[in-house]
């Protein structure tokens, strides 16, 4: 995914090149993730934070029950910061498991 600033509409339009049925931001993020083009990916659905990935200024979290939560940030820098915080939480969880 390009690091340029995207609004929701631009993200959806871009994702339709991967999956023409995309109509929501969550579906757009999933299209990028499923095609291996999410910006960042980490976690595990069995971990404390869950499995999570970032596409531009959105972060998607999947918990152990398969529920997905989409978080939208004002800009990509905030999304990166949130992703890094979740990554640290995941790393701490991994350390507890060792």
* pLDDT per residue as tens digits for the range 11-62: 999 999 999 999 999 999 999 999 999 999 999 998 888 999 999 999 999 9
Half-sphere exposure of 30 (CA within 13 A, CB side): 14
Q: How many structural domains compose the chain? A: 1
**Token pair 């995941």 in the structure block, residue:** 90
CA distance 66 to 49: 13
pTM tops 0.75: yes
Pairwise pLDDT comparison (58 vs 1), residue with the higher score: 58
Asked whether residue 87 is domain-assigned, the answer is: yes
Range of the domain at 81: 8-97
Report pLDDT for 4.
56
CA distance 17 to 53: 20
Asked whether residue 14 is domain-assigned, the answer is: yes
CA distance 33 to 48: 21
Q: What are phi and psi of 78, to 5 degrees?
A: -65, -40
Asked whether residue 46 is domain-assigned, the answer is: yes
């Amino acid at each position: 995914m390009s690091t340029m600033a995207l609004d929701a509409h631009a993200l959806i339009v871009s994702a339709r090149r991967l999956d023409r049925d995309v109509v929501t931001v969550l579906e757009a993020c999933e299209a990028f993730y499923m095609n291996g083009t999410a910006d960042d990916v980490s976690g595990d659905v069995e971990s404390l934070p869950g499995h999570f990935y970032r596409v531009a200024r959105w972060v998607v979290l999947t918990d152990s029950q398969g529920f997905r939560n989409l978080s939208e940030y004002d800009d990509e820098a905030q999304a990166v910061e949130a992703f890094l915080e979740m990554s640290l939480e995941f790393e701490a969880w991994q350390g507890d498991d060792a």
